Amino acid sequence: MLQGAKQGCCSLPCNETGNSLAHLGCSWAKEKRVQVSPPLTRGPSAFIPENEVMQANGLDERTNLLVEEYSTSGRLDNITQVMSIHTQYLESFLRSQFYMLRMDGPLPLPYRHYIAIMAAARHQCSYLINMHVDEFLKTGGIAEWLNGLEYIPQRLKNLNEINKLLAHRPWLITKEHIQKLVKTGENNWSLPELVHAVVLLAHYHALASFVFGSGINPERDPDTSNGVRLIAVNNFCVCDLANDNNIENASLTSSNFGIADSLSELEALMERMKRLQEDKEDEEASQEEMDTRFEKEKKESLLVISGAFDDEIVSTDVSRYIEDPGFGYKDFARRGEDHLPTFRAQDYTWENHGFSLVNRLYSDIGHLLDEKFRMVYNLTYNTMATHEDVDTTTLRRALFNYVHCMYGIRYDDYDYGEVNQLLERSLKVYIKTVTCYPERTTKRMYDSYWRQFKHSEKVHVNLLLMEARMQAELLYALRAITRHLT
């Protein structure tokens, strides 16, 4: 009943947004005529059938974990449900999230949730906003703040700039930004507080990527007994971005011709992976070649999406939490502009530098994040679609490094030619959208890559993208803080 009411409320703005997205988001012109319908799917995700999410997969361990989560937080949100496909990861994810939101830390609890709101708002992720509006009020936040940025203390407002940069162009963060925030004065941030805030921001930017990337459905919360929540939910209309091309997709995915096609795609991909793993030094690339390959990847990422998104419609419910809504991701390597120095991964690594700094200023979070990054990087089931016993290392590394590449982070010891060989174009489109403009992700994008792969594998991809993005943001922010300190 409640669900129905929600949808009723949604229908109008959804139409709008959906249309505009269909219009703007995809270059496929035919989509303009697509009728918008309310989400067909039930369950936690609009992209993934409910039974897929609930599929038994190490059932015992998984239920244990979910039960535990339920007993600590009193609910099981859709994110958790979708992530629970990857139980191992979920555990470290929840642990770190719990720590940064609820355990001892430099920032007061309502602040933390408000920062989460601010971060999610950069990507217009109403799902996360709703969730944290609720939490914010529960932890005793001042309801007035929810009216928008004009109502919050100056100190929080000062965080806007760094939030904006971090979300869209983290490479622009300099030590001056940090200095401005920590400079002694009435509204200054202490370094531990700032680090806590940065970790939260990065976490929620990345989580927004996951939410859109996996098409997380709005919560159907049964226990909306308190009025506040109900209002909040109704206020922030939950637009399901996935619904703009549901119908068409249904036909697309079910067509037989696509499957035959993708089967051969899969074979080819595996063949390439094998080749890369076996004889690496066969095609010894010269230095210049390597350089150009990185540059090429960087440049190519430009072409992946045509940049005509400028007139985006942001609902007022979300826009009240953001300043300068027009500021978005701009390609790191746009041609003809000032050359920004590439971030050399080896000069500032998470393991050596980032960890030490973060852990020093906000104790223990370093270990939790470290574990999470390590977990996601090494997570594998040695399967690819229908095949088993596959070493997916190269593929995972390609995904991870491609995200970093779009943020201008370069690994000296990586041949970016691999990215080109392993990641097909539709996947690149998806990656780029999910990491840089998550709010534009559509079900079509989700479906159009790796058609043979299981949903759980696609969720795995999303996890990789999310963590790679979080690490990239953290690296830039922490490097700026380090520079400020020296």
Residues lying near another protein in the complex (CB under 8 A): 64, 67-68, 71, 104, 108-111, 139-140, 142, 153, 280-281, 284, 286-288, 290-291, 344, 346-347, 351-353, 355-357, 360, 367, 370, 411-413, 482, 485-486
Pairing of strands 387-388, 383-384: antiparallel
Report helix, strand or coil for 55.
coil
Q: How near is the Cβ of 14 to another protein at its closest, in Å?
A: 35
Residue 166 to residues 7, 172, 261, 420, 460: CA-CA distances in angstroms? 33, 8, 39, 27, 24
Q: How near is the Cβ of 304 to another protein at its closest, in Å?
A: 26
Of 10, 14, 26, 125, the catalytic one is 125
Rounded to an integer, what distance in angstroms lies between the CA atom of residue 267 and that of residue 271? 6
- DSSP codes joined into one string, 117-152: HHHHHHTT-HHHHHHHHHHHHHTT--GGGGG-GGGS
Q: How near is the Cβ of 292 to another protein at its closest, in Å?
A: 11
Q: Which residue's CB is nearer to another protein, number 106 or number 215?
A: 106
Q: Where do the H-state alpha helices sit in 26-174?
A: 50-53, 59-73, 78-83, 87-102, 109-122, 126-138, 154-157, 159-168
Q: Which residue's CB is nearer to another protein, number 282 or number 310?
A: 282
Beta bridge partners of residue 388, listed in sequence order: 383
409: enclosing H helix or E strand: strand 409-410
Determine whether 125 is an active site residue.
yes
Which residue type occupies 103? M
Q: How near is the Cβ of 448 to another protein at its closest, in Å?
A: 32
Q: Which residue's CB is nearer to another protein, number 286 or number 316?
A: 286
Rounded to an integer, what distance in angstroms lies between the CA atom of residue 380 and that of residue 403? 19
Q: How near is the Cβ of 139 to another protein at its closest, in Å?
A: 7
Q: Which residue's CB is nearer to another protein, number 33 or number 339?
A: 339
Q: How near is the Cβ of 389 to another protein at its closest, in Å?
A: 19
Q: Which residue's CB is nearer to another protein, number 51 or number 486?
A: 486
Q: Which residue's CB is nearer to another protein, number 104 or number 388?
A: 104
Rounded to an integer, what distance in angstroms lies between the CA atom of residue 98 and that of residue 75? 13
Give Rg (Cα) of the chain. 22
Helices and strands (H, E) in the chain, number of each type? 23, 4
In degrees and rounded to multiples of 5, residue 222 shows phi and psi of -75, -35
> Looking at the annotation, which residues are catalytic?
125
